Amino acid sequence: MMPDALFAVTAAVLDAPALERAVVAAHGADASRTGAPGAGAVSTFVGLVRDQNLGRRVLRLDYEAYEPLAIRVFERIAGEAVVHWESIRLGIHHRIGPVAIGEASIVIVAVSAHRAEAFAAARYAIERVKQIAPIWKREYFEGGDVWIEGAVAAPDDLEARDKARRLACA
Amino acid sequence: MRVTVRLFAGLRDLAGTGELATEVATGATIADVWAGVVARHPALAPYGRSLSAARNLEYARLTAPVAEADEIAFLPPVSGG
């Protein structure tokens, strides 16, 4: 992956501060081009691998992605966010391969002029990733392992998109 | 015509492969491609109820037509994040 890529799927350990710098820089470039206000808020969501799920003791997760489509979906989510929150800039990095308990599986950075948009867009983005990103986790727990299957990905499902927006603004 | 099929996660495990080439008739849809995959790998059949598909790196409906040399991906329910 390019070190300053805003959207990435990577087997490397995720680096939230590096993504924050990249998204702030992108937001700054937008602002200087359009004359809009510069960055006033950075909201970063980091998803960690939890040690328990559904009452099971989790040992680790193993993530798989359809990488090129995942990148396009991240870009799509960023495009959706701009429709809802003007001047938002998003970055999304998702880990693949084995991920240990306590390590980050995803980092989402939202940068905007004001905090309300940054908080909302970060929440929106993680809900949309869970709905439509072509990424799967295999859970290794005490006693077995299983593919976790969540949402049926349907990017054009406006109800799902609306649900993500409501959660973001709650 | 020949298309490339990509399978992921649970689908890949059940089929024992993440990629296969398959022949479909001219005018075939993504649903026809899926039917061909299920004919070769019957264990995948239950996923027909919770399936997403992509054609050449764009999500697509099962009713969408396919063309020669397309990459058709079948995706079980997702669990990223």
Q: Is the pLDDT of residue A3 over 70?
A: no
**B:54-73 residues touching chain A, CB 8 A cutoff:** 54, 57-59, 73
Q: How many CB atoms lie within 10 A of CB A104?
A: 18
Of B50, B52, B79, the CB nearest to A137: B79
Q: Tell me what percent of the residues of chain A surpass a pLDDT of 70.
A: 98
Mean pLDDT of the region A100-115: 98
Q: Is the pLDDT of residue A1 over 70?
A: no
* Residue type at A21 in one-letter notation: R
Contact of B15 with B7, CB cutoff 8 Å: yes
Q: Is the pLDDT of residue A170 over 80?
A: no
Rounded Cα distance between A168 and A81, Å, is: 11
Verify whether the Cβ–Cβ distance B78 to A65 is below 8 Å: no
Q: How far is A16 from chain B (nearest CA, A)?
A: 15
Q: At A19, is the pLDDT very low, low, confident or very high (cuts 50, 70, 90)?
A: very high
Instruction: Give whole-number Cα distances, A64 to A105, A136, B64, in Å.
Output: 11, 5, 26
SS3 A2: coil
Place of tokens 């960023």: A78
Contact of A127 with A167, CB cutoff 8 Å: yes
Complex ipTM above 0.90? yes
Rounded Cα distance between A160 and A166, Å, is: 10
β-strand pairing of B71-75 with B2-7: parallel
Of B6, B54, B77, the CB nearest to A149: B77
Q: Which residue of B has its CA nearest to A66?
A: B8
Return the pLDDT at A86: 87
Question: Residue A92 is encoded by which pair of tokens?
Answer: 């999304």
Spell out the per-residue pLDDT of chain B, length 81, in tens: 999 999 999 999 999 999 999 999 999 999 999 999 999 999 999 999 999 999 999 999 999 999 999 999 999 999 999
Rounded Cα distance between B48 and A41, Å, is: 44
